[in-house]
Amino acid sequence: MIEKTSMLTAREHLTSALLDGKLYVIGGRTAGIAANIEANEIYDPITDKWSILEPMPSKRGDWLSVLLNETIHLFDGRTRWYISQ
């Protein structure tokens, strides 16, 4: 297995989509502290490089993304997390 460059922002509960041969990784939350983030990054497998895109307008996790007509559409997503005791 060939190791590739890690994402710039470690996270979980994100969404991703493949468009024009590049991987878009959108939103999510930081591991362990349940804090949503507005991170928006793109990965180019040809150059093995990540780039930061403009942040999302709101911090969200648990997204659903769909690629339609060469556009990534985002649905739902949580803006808050509630942890029960």
Say if 3 falls within a structural domain: no
Residue 2 lies in a domain: no
Tell me the helix, strand and coil percentages in the chain, rounded to 5.
0, 45, 55
Q: What is the pLDDT of residues 38-70, one digit of tens each?
A: 999 999 999 999 999 999 888 888 888 888 999
Closest CA to 28 of 40, 43, 17: 40
Query: The domain containing residue 27 runs over which residues?
Result: 15-78
Q: How far apart are CA 15 and CA 55, in angstroms?
A: 14
In a domain, 1, yes or no: no
Residue 70 lies in a domain: yes
The mean-pLDDT minimum among 5-14, 23-32, 35-44, 71-80 falls in 71-80
Q: What percent of the chain has pLDDT over 70?
A: 88
Q: Are 50 and 41 in contact (CB under 8 A)?
A: yes
pTM: 0.83
* Residue 25 within a domain: yes
Provide the 10 A C-beta neighbour count for residue 44.
14
The number of folded domains in the chain is 1
The answer as to whether 8 is a domain residue is: no
Residue 85 belongs to a domain? no
> Does the residue 43 lie in any domain?
yes
Q: The dihedral of CA 34, 35, 37, 43: what is its sign? A: negative
Evaluate if residue 83 carries a pLDDT over 60. no
